[in-house]
Each structure stands twice: as C-alpha cells, then as structure tokens.
C-alpha cells in the first residue's frame, strides 16, 4: 500500500521522516521523504514500503530489501540498527536509510562499527568500512576483525576510541591528535564499550609517518579544509531542512 503524502494520520499511524545515509560522501545526510506507517509494522515491511515510495517519488538512490539498513538517527549521527523482525520504533520520528554493498548480517548479539584505516606512510585514509562485533566481547575480538579486514597481523594493529559520525578531523592531525591503543592490549585500558554507529580509526603501527614537503602539506591542507567545509555545510543544510520539513 502506497500512502499519499500530506494526508492526515489515522488511528495507530505515525509519520516518519527518512534520510539517506551515505557515510563515504561528504553530503552524507539527505532528506528522502515522509512516510506514514502503522505502529505495529515490522521493520522489514517498512523497508519494502520505503523502496516502493522511493520509486514512485523518483528518488535517486538504489535500494534493495536485503541490502539496506534502517537505523536510529541522533541529530546527524547514525545510531542503533533496527533489525528486520523488530516493530517500528514509534518514539522516533526520524530514521536513517542506509544502502549496503552486501546482505545485512547483523543480529541481536552484535554491534556495528564504522572503521577507517589510517595510512601514516601516505598521510591518507581509506574509505569507511563496516565490521560487526559480538556485544559481550567487543574489546577482545576487534583485533581479529580488523586483521581479517586489512590483512595486518593483530599484534601490529592500533586503534582509537569510538567517536560519533561524522568525525571532523584533518588527515594532518590524525596521527598526533588521536590517542592510539594496541588492539592486543585493549583489555588493560578503561575504554568504554563500543556502540552501534561508532567510528574508529585503525592503523598498522609498523608504518612510519610520511615526511611531507611544504608543497605536499599545503596541498593536503587545502583539500582537507575543503572536505571539512563540505561536511559542515551538510550539517547546516540538514538543520535548515529539519525546520522546513
């Protein structure tokens, strides 16, 4: 059933604003549409509704039922992932729609993190990727997950504490301004447990920091300032649109 926008709410119905989440894009948060859904609707059924409404409204994004997430939206930061057999969260009037490259594999016993590989020898970062951690042992297994992802032996991997997305930090500051921990020694540190949607940076600690020429530093600074400006503009645009919609 495709619901016409703008009509009044019936008994047991709520209106939800959906935003497209694209974590590897500086314009990462884009308003999609308003949808009306009943309070007892399973998440998987709401996903189907969103796909159909997006097609009808000509929204420019590719959504596949088994390759998308619905998740809590905290301001502009992504939060908890809603699983298919849950019922729609009626306490939230906004949520993120996140396209995935492959099938969703998360279950109730896991947390989903965004991970960014920092490459000191190149003074650059890789695109954001996803990992899943068992909720009860997230500190101890993160090294194995990052090792599988990167091919770097766990004993050489260092990572940071979890941060909210988007992380606004220049590549020129990552090495010195973030605090790094050996993943094989995490149990010794009083780190908070990671939560759904946290962002962590990680690196191969054998890599040495690149010695930049003045020209290279200037070029990186210019590119990073432009990138961070686009992120800030996206956040401001989001706040404007929230008031508008």
pLDDT in tens, 188-238: 655 567 889 999 999 999 999 999 999 999 999 999 999 999 999 999 988
234: its two tokens? 């996206």
Instruction: Compute the C-alpha angle 28/71/51, nearest 5°.
Output: 80
Residue (of 60, 56, 66) closest to 35 by Cα position: 56
Q: Is residue 148 part of a domain?
A: yes
Verify that 127 and 94 share a domain, yes or no.
no
Q: Hey, how many other C-beta atoms are within 10 angstroms of the C-beta on 237?
A: 14
89 and 156 both lie in a single domain:
no
Q: What are phi and psi of 163, to 5 degrees?
A: -130, 155
Given a contact cutoff of 8 angstroms between Cβ atoms, the answer to whether 160 and 180 are in contact is yes
Claim to verify: residue 99 and residue 184 sit in the same structural domain: no
How would residue 140 be classed by pLDDT, with cut points 50, 70 and 90? low
Is the bond into 166 cis (omega within 30 degrees of 0)?
yes
**Residue range of the domain that includes 148:** 110-204
pLDDT at 4: 45
Give the torsion sign (CA, 121, 116, 104, 149). Answer: positive
CA distance 99 to 177: 31
Q: Choose among 141, 136, 146: nearest CA to 200.
A: 146
Tell me whether residue 235 is in a domain. no
Question: Could you give the number of structural domains in the chain?
Answer: 2
What CA–CA distances, in Å, run from 137 to 64, 133, 174, 187? Answer: 31, 8, 27, 10
Q: Which of 79, 104, 129 is the endpoint of a domain?
A: 104
Q: What band does 173 get if pLDDT is binned at 50, 70 and 90?
A: very high
Question: Which residue is listed with tokens 């050489």?
Answer: 156
pLDDT (tens digit, 9 = 90+) per residue, 141-169? Answer: 788 899 999 999 999 999 998 899 999 99
CATH number at 76 reads: 3.10.20.90
Is residue 212 a part of any domain in this protein?
no
The pLDDT assigned to 60 comes to 85
**Spatial separation of the C-alpha atoms in residues 204 and 121, rounded to whole Å:** 10
Cα 154 vs. chain centroid, distance in angstroms? 24
Tell me which of 72, 104, 136 is where a domain ends: 104
Tell whether the model's pLDDT for residue 136 goes beyond 70.
no
In-domain check, residue 214 = no
The residue out of 77, 104, 131 marking a domain boundary is 104
Residue 158, pLDDT score: 96
Q: Has residue 233 been placed in a domain?
A: no
Domain identity same for 100 and 116: no
For the chain, how far is it from start to end, CA to CA, in angstroms? 23
Closest C-alpha to 117, from 182, 203, 224: 203
Tell me: do 126 and 63 sit in the same domain.
no
Enter the DSSP assignment of 178: S
With respect to residue 245, please indicate whether it lies within any of the assigned structural domains.
Answer: no
DSSP letter assigned to residue 193: P
Q: Is residue 188 located within the same domain as residue 121?
A: yes
41 and 58: one domain?
A: yes
Give 174-177 contacts, CB < 8 A, sequence gap 24+: 174/118, 174/125, 174/201, 175/118, 175/120, 175/209
């Amino acid at each position: 059933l495709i619901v016409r926008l703008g009509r009044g709410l019936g008994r047991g119905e709520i209106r939800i604003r959906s935003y497209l989440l694209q974590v590897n894009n500086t314009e990462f948060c884009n308003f999609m549409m308003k949808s009306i859904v009943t309070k007892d609707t399973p998440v998987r059924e709401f996903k189907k509704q969103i796909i159909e409404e997006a097609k009808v409204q000509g929204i420019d994004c590719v959504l596949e039922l088994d390759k998308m997430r619905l998740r809590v939206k905290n301001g502009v930061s992504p939060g908890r992932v809603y699983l298919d057999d849950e019922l729609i969260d009626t306490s939230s009037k906004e949520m993120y729609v996140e396209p995935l490259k492959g099938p969703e594999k998360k279950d109730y016993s896991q947390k989903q993190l965004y991970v960014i590989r920092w490459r000191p020898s190149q003074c650059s970062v890789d695109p954001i990727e996803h990992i899943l951690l068992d909720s009860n042992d997230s500190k101890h297994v993160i090294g194995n997950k990052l090792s599988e992802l990167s091919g770097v032996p766990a004993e050489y991997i260092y990572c940071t504490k979890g941060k909210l997305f988007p992380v606004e930090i220049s590549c020129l500051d990552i090495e010195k301004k973030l605090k790094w921990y050996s993943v094989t020694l995490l149990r010794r540190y009083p780190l908070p447990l990671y939560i759904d949607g946290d962002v962590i940076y990680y690196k191969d600690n054998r890599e040495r920091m690149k010695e930049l020429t003045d020209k290279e530093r200037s070029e990186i600074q210019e590119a990073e300032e432009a990138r961070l400006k686009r992120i800030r503009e996206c956040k401001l645009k989001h706040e404007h649109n929230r008031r508008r919609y």
